[in-house]
Amino acid sequence: MGNASEIFLFVSRISKDNDFVMGTLYTIFGVLSVLGNGILLFVAYRKKSSLKPAEFFVVNLAISDLTMTITLFPLAIPSAYAHMWLFNLTTCTVYAFCGVLFGLCSLSNLTVLSCVCWLKVCCPNYGNKFSYCHASLLVAGIWCYAGVFAVGPLSGWGEYGAEPYGTACCINWHAPNHSSAAMSYIICLFFFCYIVPCTIIFLSYTFILVTVRGSRQAVQQHMSPQNKITNAHALIVKLSVAVCIGFLTAWSPYAIVSMWAAFGNATDIPPMAFALAAIFAKSSTLYNPIVYLVFKPNFRKSLCRDVAHCRSTFCRCFCQHSSAQKGTCRQSHHIDECNSTRLSNGLPENHRTCRHCPYAETVSGAKENFTDYSPQQTARILKGSVQTEVAVSQLSNELQSDFL
């Protein structure tokens, strides 16, 4: 791995127990992130023909989160369990580049999505003109914006290096102490990738809530009840609060650590502080799909419909496989049992198609051969030495009661 200083940087500076906890958390985050973002992309693919322009950003968010999980977690997990960085310096640089690129892409995506929501809710005259072309251009702009800050350290504006806790790589937080370029990079990163997005997200959702509340009050004066209006308002409130909390939870620790490292002495910062910041940042890959699967009704309905379709397909295939093993003899016997039973007097009673019968089509064809009639119970009456058999319904009420 190189000289002594490089070896020192690539050895974990936190306890083995803390490394084990980090490795376990990364494993849980990785599995859940792949499942959550995979499901979100699967639902988007299933409804690709009906995707709205604003939903492009949800898909782009899932792509960036899933790619971040695939590129970072397979390297971070074994290194955490090994209590040291297991790969070379080049891999460290690639790891840091991917972390910054995909992390900032997700962050910028949330920011642009909040602006689009504000435009469609608060300025419907312009929001209704928002097209697929506009969405595609903004998605490209998001990747370019994140790419500028990801490529910066590769071109000398800032530096990539090992994290102070030693089992992962990111921005070199020690560089600002001896490099003005690194100092300017971290300040720009803090301002343009935290302060500006944070301000835009909070203002956008604040204006949305104010607009929806005003519309709700206007509607309440003219019509009642307002169940759908109330539900829509509650959904927007929940989505707004969830996005804001997720944004602050994921990125505030990194913002605090970056400013601490830029304007203080990075060597005085506990390595565990950087480790916690990394854990919170990587948790965003898990948090984002949960928010949009839970609070986006169209995605949730599509998911439920796809799950129900898969379940019915599986059950149908399983039933067909089971019925094929029973043989034709058992099929005909089952049809007879489903369609008729015997009364105590030996007359058949037609029950039409049995609801448990898996051979619905055969049964429906077979039941046409039966004649519809109402089976009657009969009684034998002895008069002297002569026996006569009459239907119970033909007896007088008194005789019927005695017979029954």
Lowest pLDDT segment from 31-35, 131-135, 136-140, 235-239: 235-239
Residue 326: band (very low, low, confident or very high) from pLDDT cuts 50, 70, 90: low
Q: Phi and psi of 162, rounded to 5°? A: -70, 145
Q: Tell me, what amino acid is at 132?
A: Y
The total number of structural domains that make up the chain = 1
Average confidence (pLDDT) over 218-235: 56
- Residue 116 in any domain: the answer is yes
- Residue 246 in any domain: the answer is yes
- Residue 69 in any domain: the answer is yes
157 CB-side CA count, 13 A: 11
Residue 61 · residue 106 · CB < 8 Å: yes
pLDDT for 374 equals 47
Integer Cα distance of 44 and 302 in angstroms: 9
Strands 160-162 and 169-171: antiparallel
- Residue 403 in any domain: the answer is no
Element housing 47 (H / E): none
- Residue 332 in any domain: the answer is no
Average confidence (pLDDT) over 122-130: 86
What is the model's pTM? 0.72
pLDDT for 259 equals 84
Highest mean pLDDT among 140-154, 331-345, 383-397: 140-154
Q: Is the pLDDT of residue 152 over 80?
A: yes
- Residue 362 in any domain: the answer is no
Report the SS3 class of residue 388.
strand
Residue 284 · residue 68 · CB < 8 Å: no
Q: Is the pLDDT of residue 303 over 60?
A: yes
Highest mean pLDDT among 34-43, 219-228, 246-255, 285-294: 34-43
Residue 217: band (very low, low, confident or very high) from pLDDT cuts 50, 70, 90: low
Cα 117 to Cα 120, 138, 192, 229: the distances in Å are 5, 14, 21, 17
Model confidence pLDDT, tens digit, residues 346-362: 444 444 444 444 444 44
- Residue 48 in any domain: the answer is yes
CB atoms within 10 A of CB 388: 9
- Residue 8 in any domain: the answer is no
SS3 track for 298-367: HHHHHHHHHHHHHHHHHHHHHHHHHHHHHCHHHHHHHHHHHHEEECCCCCEEECCCCCCCCCHHHHHHHH
pLDDT for 20 equals 94
Q: Tell me, what amino acid is at 218?
A: A
pLDDT for 220 equals 58
Q: State the greatest distance between any 2 C-alpha atoms of the chain, in Å, as a whole number.
A: 127
Model confidence pLDDT, tens digit, residues 179-192: 899 999 999 999 99
Residue 262 · residue 5 · CB < 8 Å: no
Element housing 277 (H / E): helix 271-295
Q: Which residues pair with 160 in a beta bridge?
A: 171
CB atoms within 10 A of CB 390: 13
Integer Cα distance of 190 and 185 in angstroms: 9
Integer Cα distance of 119 and 51 in angstroms: 18
Using alpha carbons, select from 117, 103, 31 the residue that is nearest to residue 284.
103
- Give residue 75's domain range: 16-307
Using alpha carbons, select from 285, 287, 261, 346 the residue that is nearest to residue 30.
285
Extract the tokens encoding 149.
Answer: 């800050």
Residue 168: band (very low, low, confident or very high) from pLDDT cuts 50, 70, 90: very high
pLDDT for 234 equals 66
Highest mean pLDDT among 59-73, 210-224, 363-377, 387-401: 59-73
Extract the tokens encoding 65.
Answer: 């989160």
Can you give the CATH number for the domain in which 42 is found?
1.20.1070.10
Q: Is the pLDDT of residue 175 over 50?
A: yes
Residue 390: band (very low, low, confident or very high) from pLDDT cuts 50, 70, 90: low
Cα 140 to Cα 15, 201, 249, 273: the distances in Å are 42, 20, 26, 34
Residue 29 · residue 282 · CB < 8 Å: yes
